[in-house]
Structure 1
Amino acid sequence: MNINDAIKHFGSKTKLAAALGIHPSAVTQWGETIPTTRQYQLQVISKNKLKADQKAA
């Protein structure tokens, strides 16, 4: 998944950060690539609507 998919799902960077319990500036620091552990967290939180990249595994 990329950052744009996650932001679209949650509605904003702020809401994405809130879902993960992190500060919005942390999301900004990712750039386009979401860290692997965060991808898996987002997959669980989104009930598999967002999918972690297979290459990230």
Structure 2
Amino acid sequence: MTKTEVLAHYKTGKAVAEALGLSESAVSQWPEVIPRLRAFELERITQGALKVGGVSADRAAA
């Protein structure tokens, strides 16, 4: 899962941060490849719309 995919899904870094209970600063410091534990958390809270190591629903629809 990439930062680009996550931002495309949530639209803003602030929305990502709020969904995960983090600061915007923490999200902005992520590398392009999302830290694995955060990626699993995002997959769970998006009910699979974002996928760890796979094609997200957003990318599959493109």
Q: Output the TM-score relative to the length of structure 2.
A: 0.81
Task: Indicate the structure with greater helix content.
Answer: 1
CA distance in 2, matches of 1:53, 1:26: 21
Structure 1: runs of 5 or more not aligned: none
The equivalent residue for 1:48 is 48
Structure 2: runs of 5 or more not aligned: 55-62
Percent identity between the aligned chains? 35
Q: Output the TM-score relative to the length of structure 1.
A: 0.87
Report the Cα offset of residue 7 of structure 1. 0.7
CA offsets 1:9-47 (integer angstroms, 9 cap, x no match): 111011001100000100111121210000000000110
| Root-mean-square deviation (Å) | 1.1
The equivalent residue for 2:21 is 21
